[in-house]
Amino acid sequence: MTTAFKLGFIGLGVMGRPMALNLMKAGYAMTVYARRPESAVPLLDKGASVVATPADVARRSNVVFSLVTSSADSEQIALGANGIVEGATAGTVLIDMATISPLVTRRIAHALSERGIEHVDAPVSGGPAGAQTATLAIMAGGKLAVFERIKPLFDCLGKTVLHMGDHGAGQTTKACNQLALTVTAQAAAEALTLARRCGLDPARVHEVLMGGVAASRVLELFGKRMVSRDFGQGIDTRLYHKDLGIVLDLAQESGLPLPAGAVVKQQINALMGAGDGGADFSVLIRALERATANGKDGR
């Protein structure tokens, strides 16, 4: 058992659960909290301790990971009633790996610092597959000395691990990542819809695109699902809706026009309105198909 760190993990969803398991595989003791008790069962089976509140996690840990859905969730977990702030001692490190607002991140970090608690924002890219295989890209913000101290933990979770700057820099980097991802997915959806409308086999067009300069991980992953109409795997569209909201808020704050990002946000709005918020983001192609005059391509 590795003894330098006593770990806690809050948020055992499709990303958090395999990440926590990978940390346990590396030999770290683990205490967890889950709003849905059944999500903690795989960790309990491996020897983790399950407690009743985030504050209880902090009381038993010197490094706490948090990976919940929204900015409000992260703030509640950190600073709310029975939150980490109520159980942590000075020197405890909170690593927030959710994708949330940089502004909220800085607010949380400031509030914790007044209690001597360290904060690192470390959102990830790589999806459920990257979480399972410990090949995530991790972009961190916060004090460099704290990052260097906890980097061995990040190395259990990802292959690309970079310190991006002060508090909020990790979240800003993730916003840039999500902008590039969603706009590229929109381009894939448009190309494959055009191919179908022109009478071509989208699967063969996808194969050709993957052999040329247009090839990308986004085209490979989401394009394949668009072709096969497999919208049941991956990350929910509703989460990309949240992420692009963060992106466009940052753009407004910075006085920067993001026309492509704004268009994709409108496409996602249409998907949310059609009840596709729980489908994989490759369902983006449906928004284009539904927008055609007769909708003959939409299925």
C-alpha–C-alpha distance, residues 258 and 264, integer Å: 10
Encode burial over 135-167: b for 16+ CB neighbours within 10 A, e otherwise.
ebbbbbbbbeebbebbeebbebbbeebbbbeeb
Provide the 10 A C-beta neighbour count for residue 238: 17
Taking residue 250's Cβ as centre, other Cβ atoms within 10 Å add up to: 19
Which helix (H) or strand (E) segment is 241 a member of?
helix 237-254
Is 174 among the residues known to form the active site? Answer: yes
Q: Which of 6, 151, 174, 224 is catalytic?
A: 174
Radius of gyration of the chain from its Cα atoms, rounded to whole angstroms: 20
Rounded to the nearest 10°, the torsion over CA 63, 8, 127, 143 is -10
Catalytic site positions: 174
